[in-house]
Structure formats: structure tokens, C-alpha cells
Amino acid sequence: MSSYNIGVVGATGLVGREMLNMLDKRDFPVKNLRLLASHRSVGKKLKFKGREIEVEELTKDSFSKGDKLDVALFSAGGGTSKEFAPYAAREGVFVIDNSSAWRMDDNCPLIVPEVNEIALKKEKKIIANPNCSTIQMVVVLAPLHRAAKIKRVVVSTYQAVSGAGIKAVEELEEQVKALSEGRKPRPMVFPHQIAYNCLPQIDVFLDNGYTKEEMKMVNETKKIMGDDSIQVTATCVRVPVVRAHSEAVNIETEKKLTAEEAISILEKAPGITVVDDISKLKYPLAVNAAYKEETFVGRLREDESIENGLNMWVVSDNLLKGAALNAVQIAESLVKNEYI
């Protein structure tokens, strides 16, 4: 079996570490592994398959020296990706980028393997990993769209603080501790207190009144699904959960789908686990989805306010399927299609 030289850019961050974990857990055929990060992380050592690997500094020459990389998994922010991904691509390295830098670039595929693996092309070296909240939603929407053509999507998200990085997780933990001790919490990462609170703002506000996160869901959904006719509207909310995003999703379809038919379709779809037994109070929960690879869906019911509508509850680990896992699955698709 062939093996490949893999680089992880931003290896010391939350998602970077999960990329290493997914490469290991899924037994990706790694020949050599290089860890790249900013000069602040140089010399740090991370474990992979029982051995320690030292972090190198990311420079414009990183991809033209040392072990020639086949794939570079980027998780270091949009600015870093914009600066360094083109250097990797020029050296023939497939870049799988977790930032928003390339997602809406017409020359870069935006990939969720269960949905649009066919959009991968050997000559397209920079591949965008979609937004975490978009990924889990389209995994569920795609099989329903194929069966009944989705006309409109209304989604409200309940997103974990880990989506904003390790400092956001630490802020939630510190605020909970402060409140328990009678101290006033100090917001630093978020604009307001996040402990015991919900913030109807993720990322910055745009001129249309939506946040950047909400418009990511609108635009990325259409690109991934390959259908600009799908109307999408989103409200994205940060909640005091450490890990796993939850979403209330309402869809309107051209063809009638009963809840039972939708469940049957989703039970057969890749990457999805249906948890839907209200008689036993069984439905997807963030605490159960954390550290799991699947996307969970439940609370399937018909929308009684329109003729062809469905409501559902979708939950997935934002650091895994929403980021690191999806990136590694894209690398697996490159191997399967013999692009590397």
C-alpha cells in the first residue's frame, strides 16, 4: 500500500491537534509527517503514533525543501493560508485549508466528501474545507435534496465555544468559576458574558445585518450542493457548550417527504446516525456527539405550516466533522481517486 508525506500547518492549535488525532485514528497512510507553525511554536514537540515530532517554522520555502509533501492540512487562519497556500500549490502539494480564505473562490473546490467528492480535480491544488456549521448541515441535506429537491432552508445554530479556539474554551471555564465564586466575569474573546448565556452573534456583522458566519452558511451551502436555487437563511448563536454544534433546521421541498420517508433516507446515508425516538426521549445531544465522527439527526417531523416541509435537529462535533475529520476525509478522497 502506498504511503504519503503529510504536513499539518497550525499543528499546535485545537484543530491542528485534532488533525493529527484523525490521521492516527483513521490510520491514514502517512510516510513522513511534518508539523509547521509560526515561529512562536518552533521547537515544541507533538506526539504522533507514539513518537515525538518537532514543530518547524512555516516559511515560504517550507514546501520546496525537506520531505516533498503530498498533502498539507492547513489550520492556521485565513491570512496565513492566503500567504502560504499558493507556495505549496506551486510545488504540486494539495492544500486542504480549514479557513474561510478560499471557500468562495471559483477555482477552489469546497468539499464535503459525502456530498460532492466529484468536485475534486487533480489540477485544483487548493481545496477548501467548509465552515463547521455548514458541513454538518449539508451532510444531512444532501440525501434529502436528491430525493425531493430542497427549495428553502431556515437554520438556527447553537454553536460551541471551541469553534472560537482554545482561549474561548478557557474563557467559558473561567467565567463559570468566577460566577460560582461570586466574582464578575470578564469577557475577552466574546463581546459579552458567555457563561450561562447565549450570544446571537458569531463573527462580525455585515451591511445586510447578518453576521459573517450566517452568510457563510448561505453561500457555502449553495456551492457545496451545486444548486444556487436553494434559498438559505441562517441565525447563528454561540452557546455555553464546550464541544459540538447543534442546529434546528427547517426545509421546504418540491416533492412531499413524510418524516418516516426522510428518516429512511437518512438512515441509509453515509456519515449520519439517526437518533429519533421521542417515546424514550432519545434525540441528538451535544454531550453525546462530542468526540464522535458521525453527524447525528433527530426530531424529524413535518412542518404543519407549509405543504412540503420538515423540521429536524442536527448535532455534530465541530472540531471533528466540522473541521479536522472532514479535512482528513478529503485527503482520503484524494488517495481513493489516485490524485496523489
272 backbone dihedrals φ, ψ, rounded to 5°: -120, 140
How many C-beta atoms lie closer than 10 Å to residue 152's C-beta? 15
Q: Find residue 157's DSSP bridge partners.
A: 236, 247
As a whole number, the mean pLDDT across the chain is 97
**Alpha carbons 147 and 130: distance in angstroms, whole number:** 23
132 noted as active-site residue: yes
Percent share of the chain, pLDDT over 70: 100
The H or E element that residue 214 is part of is helix 212-225
What's the confidence (pLDDT) of residue 67? 80
What's the confidence (pLDDT) of residue 173? 98
Q: Using 50, 70 and 90 to split pLDDT, how confident is the model at 136?
A: very high
What's the confidence (pLDDT) of residue 296? 99
What's the confidence (pLDDT) of residue 340? 94
Averaged pLDDT for residues 295-320: 98
Q: Helix (H, G, I), strand (E, B), or coil: what is residue 186?
A: coil
What's the confidence (pLDDT) of residue 65? 83
What's the confidence (pLDDT) of residue 313? 99
Contacts of 93 (CB under 8 A, 6+ apart): 7, 63, 69, 70, 71, 72, 125
Q: Helix (H, G, I), strand (E, B), or coil: what is residue 289?
A: helix
Q: Which domains does the chain have, with CATH numbers?
A: 4-130+323-336 (3.40.50.720), 134-318 (3.30.360.10)
Q: Out of 60-69, 184-193, 275-284, pick the least confident.
A: 60-69
Averaged pLDDT for residues 299-318: 98
Q: Which of 252, 226, 275 shows the shortest CA–CA distance to 153?
A: 252
Pairing status of strand 309-316 against strand 245-253: antiparallel
Residue 133, pLDDT > 90, answer yes
Averaged pLDDT for residues 197-205: 98
CB 251 within 8 A of CB 153: yes
How many C-beta atoms lie closer than 10 Å to residue 250's C-beta? 17
Question: If DSSP states are collapsed to H, E and C, what string results for 216-239?
Answer: HHHHHHHHHHCCCCCEEEEEEEEC
Catalytic, out of 108, 145, 236, 245: 245
Q: Using 50, 70 and 90 to split pLDDT, how confident is the model at 248?
A: very high
Instruction: Please give the single-letter amino acid code of residue 149.
Output: K
Residue 99, pLDDT > 90, answer yes
Residue 315, pLDDT > 90, answer yes
Contacts of 159 (CB under 8 A, 6+ apart): 132, 133, 202, 236, 237, 238, 239, 245, 246, 318
What's the confidence (pLDDT) of residue 66? 78
Contacts of 65 (CB under 8 A, 6+ apart): none
Residue 62, pLDDT > 90, answer yes
The H or E element that residue 14 is part of is helix 14-25
Catalytic, out of 108, 132, 145, 236: 132
